[in-house]
Amino acid sequence: MLTANLPAARILVVEDDPLLASHMHQHLQGSGYSVCLSEEGCDGLQRAAQDDFDLVLLDILLPGISGLEVLQNLRERRGVPVILMSALGGEQDRIAGFSQGADDYLPKPFSMVELQVRVEAVLRRVAYERREFAPPQLDPQLQFDDLRPDVQLAGHWAELTPTEFRLFELFVRHPDSLMSKAFLYQQVLRRAYSRHDRGLDMHISHIRRKLAAIGYTAGRLETVWGKGYLFTRESV
C-alpha cells in the first residue's frame, strides 16, 4: 500500500497481454494508484505525450511500434518516468532501454510485489528530487529546471532524460569529486553495478553529446579509467 508521504499517482500501463495488464491494473489500483491501460504502441505514445501521468509502465514488444520506439519518441516531448518491461533480458536489450532514457527495467516474468516495489521506488525518487532540489544557479552557463527536468543554455534545452539530469546535477553539485561507477549505479540508477552493464556509460555519453550540442563549455565530464567519472570546471 501507499505510504503517507507517497501520494496517489497516475500510471499508464502499456501492455498488450490482456491477462498481465488486468493483473497489473487490479494490483496497482488496489494499492491506491489511478491506472490507465493501453494495448499498443501508437495509442500508448499518444496518451503518454498528451496526458499528465506520473509514471509509464511500458512493454518493449508491442503491436504497431515497439516500446523502445515509443520511449524514444516520448523522450522528445516529455520527461515522465518510464519503467520498461520485457522478457528480453539480454545485456543489449537493457542497454538499449537505458540509452533511450528508461528509468528502470523490469524483466518478465515478475511478481506483483516486485512491480509495486519498483513503482514506489521510482515515484519516491521523483517526489524527493522535486521537493528537495530547488533550481539554484549551480553552473555559470546553465539554467537548471528540476520540474522539467532539464538544463538550458541561452534558451536552448539540452533535452536530458530524467536519469541524465540526475547524473549531471550530481556531478555539478560536487565538482572535482571522483565518483565510482558502483556509487553512481547505486545513487542514481538505483541498481547494483555489474561490469557487463554499460547503461551508465551510455548515459554519460549522451550527456556529453547533448551539452556540446547547445554549446556548453563551463565544465567537462572526464573518464578516469578503472575508477569512475569526474566533473571539472573550465574557464568560460
Give the domain ranges of the chain: 10-130, 133-233
Mean pLDDT across the stretch 28-55? Answer: 92
Examine the pLDDT at 119 and tell me if it is beyond 50: yes
Is there a contact between 160 and 149 (Cβ–Cβ < 8 Å)? Answer: yes
- pLDDT in the model for residue 69: 92
- pLDDT in the model for residue 29: 92
Q: Which amino acid is it at 70?
A: V
The second-level CATH assignment, the architecture, of 10-130 is 3-Layer(aba) Sandwich (3.40)
- pLDDT in the model for residue 236: 52
- pLDDT in the model for residue 3: 42
- pLDDT in the model for residue 115: 92
Give the chain's mean pLDDT: 86
- pLDDT in the model for residue 160: 92
Q: Which residue has the cell 544557479?
A: 137
Q: Is the pTM of this model over 0.85?
A: no
Is there a contact between 151 and 140 (Cβ–Cβ < 8 Å)? Answer: no
* Higher local confidence (pLDDT), 193 or 93: 193
Per residue in 175-185, pLDDT (tens digit) is 888 889 888 88
Domains 10-130 and 133-233 share a fold: no
Residue 96, phi then psi, degrees to nearest 5: -60, -40
Mean pLDDT across the stretch 21-49? Answer: 93
- pLDDT in the model for residue 8: 72
Burial 183-218 (b: 16+ CB within 10 A, else e): ebbeebbeeebeeebbbbebbbebbbebbeebebee
Fold of 133-233: Arc Repressor Mutant, subunit A (1.10.10)
Sheet with 219-224, side-by-side order of all strands: 179-180, 228-233, 219-224
- pLDDT in the model for residue 121: 86
Per residue in 122-174, pLDDT (tens digit) is 888 777 666 554 445 678 899 988 778 899 999 999 999 988 998 999 899 88
Examine the pLDDT at 213 and tell me if it is beyond 60: yes
- pLDDT in the model for residue 186: 80
CA distances from 155 to 40, 109, 151, 159, 210 (A): 35, 44, 10, 12, 14
